[in-house]
Structure 1
């Protein structure tokens, strides 16, 4: 099939999704609706910060997506997130008669999708079981589609004795890292919200340091290497997320020793054998201390988690589920 992927730039996942679709034999064209030249990127950044600039930015973003749709004339369209696209886009998508799907990798409450738009899409996929149920009750054709691991990206392992964290700076994550650091356990956080680089501080507004060793954003290949090479990598969701993050599948996928705060990870991995679940600071520290004492045990968990991921939880698997609805 000729597939148009309409996606945000976010951490290059557009490339991973396109490659996963291509692995199933589809011819994929990607339109990155918040990417493009320096002028477009600046416009989008300003709109994010300045509300009065948003209507014009949304209009131009929508027009650009429609132009891509008309140029490609696809058999199927997969929109990722897409909440900045205006009603004209969704109307054009309906008129195109292409098979359609929308994949939401974040909770609905963090996005701005009108119910009428969601009902117009052939299938809405969400990583949030709670949102899937809510959408179905509202008459939206919704399916659960978990996040996954980009198994098609090569990476170089970056050995480290630290406990690493890669991702946004939420309070629960900051508290866990600070707790470990206070106990003398080496930690390292990666991402623009942790970074003390002047431009990152300006653009995120994070004037206060988290008080732990921190680094700038990394590419996915780079942070895959960081997770794989660290003593263990931390995956803290806190109370604000229903679905399991990309990091859940990426950490185990790259062969990292994953420390996760979600018991529902057991739906995908066997706790204690393929990853380590913690419910308290004391349990988290116990896991880390055992990994230090018993590297053979830790290696066994890494190996089993990677094996499970490669067998069932890659983005190629996830795009296989999407294409099943189209074929």
Structure 2
């Protein structure tokens, strides 16, 4: 990947492209628009979209709650069949020249059969163990894009046509507010390790603020997570991706917790992309950013607390990191950069 790759350079083979994708935080929009800037005509099918209240309640009542209660039945299989039928309908209606499938393990074999000889790329922007694809399927499906370098190497060793393409930032969705809250912010799921880390920071007197359904004390969020308990930190409800971008920039620093995750999450690029101060738990972030000037790395709770205090008190240090991190992100780590790489992989 070149730091000087032209943003939005047009593909030498533009055509009708169907993006089959989960609805996950609206990242499909950034991917679709980047393909459009390269000259493709893009249609989007969000195979797991539950846009209306009725659809969300149906999913809770017919799938999630019975699973939570360990009731007998193959409800997830039935839901997968429904999603597959809808995806096949979209494929037949759009008749695309090419198909990009994000994740795609919510669809059964009938969808892949329906693709027949249509050029396709499978894009995995989360860990392999979170997908249901078999090794044989990955070897046969065509080019596979993986967000983790280690997983790409593993897939290649298995005989998969795998390509490393990291996650990214979308500057077209950035609407900075210019505010500064002075808080240490976190946005995401409330996994046990994250709750422990954030709680300990708050107990040390640091101004921690978390956003997400697992942190929110709103009755709706407690119901949808099937949990009443919440950590003793300042918390707010989920926010749209565009607002999450703003929060990362407004905070004194944004905390990134990967834990055992193999690749780098979207936040790795979104925080500095928005001009935020990123405190991240991965030494290998140095493959993307200069540690110490563009991002800050922590290895344990004490080191994170020390960096958090510095971010709150040393404005000059933070402002220098904001500027450097944003400059690097815009030069090398946007969705336009990533889509240019993906668009070079077509086998047709």
Task: Pick the TM interval, shorter chain.
Answer: over 0.9
Provide the residue aligned with 1:186 in structure 2: 207
* Contact kept? 2:209, 2:234, Cα under 8 Å: yes
Q: 1:147 aligns with which of 159, 163, 167?
A: 167
Asked if 1:89 is matched to 2:103, the reply is no
Asked if 1:20 is matched to 2:26, the reply is no
Cα distance in 2 for partners of 1:213, 1:316 equals 36
* Contact kept? 2:255, 2:280, Cα under 8 Å: yes
User: 3-state SS of the aligned residue for 2:209?
Assistant: strand
Runs of 4 or more off by more than 6 Å in structure 1?
A: none
Q: Superposition RMSD on alpha carbons, in Å?
A: 1.6
User: 3-state SS of the aligned residue for 2:163?
Assistant: strand
Cα 1:41/1:196, change in 2 over 3 Å: same
Cα distance in 2 for partners of 1:214, 1:121 equals 42
Q: Deviations over 1:128-166 (max 9, x none)?
A: 223222222222211111110111113243431110001
Q: 1:266 aligns with which of 270, 283, 286?
A: 286
TM-score, scaled to structure 1: 0.94
Deviation at 1:56, TM superposition (A): 1.5
* Contact kept? 1:103, 1:124, Cα under 8 Å: yes
Deviation at 1:28, TM superposition (A): 0.6
Provide the residue aligned with 2:180 in structure 1: 159
Structure with more contact order per residue of length (Cα contacts < 8 Å, sep ≥ 6): 2
* Contact kept? 2:169, 2:269, Cα under 8 Å: yes
Provide the residue aligned with 1:29 in structure 2: 43
Map 1:71-86; keep pairs closer than 5 Å: 71-86=93-108
Alignment gaps of 5+ in structure 1: none
The number of aligned residues is: 324
Q: 2:91 aligns with which of 59, 66, 69?
A: 69
Cα distance in 1 for partners of 2:323, 2:51 equals 42
Deviation at 1:205, TM superposition (A): 2.1
Asked if 1:6 is matched to 2:28, the reply is no
Cα distance in 2 for partners of 1:205, 1:146 equals 33
Cα 1:111/1:42, change in 2 over 3 Å: farther
Deviation at 1:36, TM superposition (A): 5.3
User: 3-state SS of the aligned residue for 1:326?
Assistant: coil
* Contact kept? 1:19, 1:152, Cα under 8 Å: no
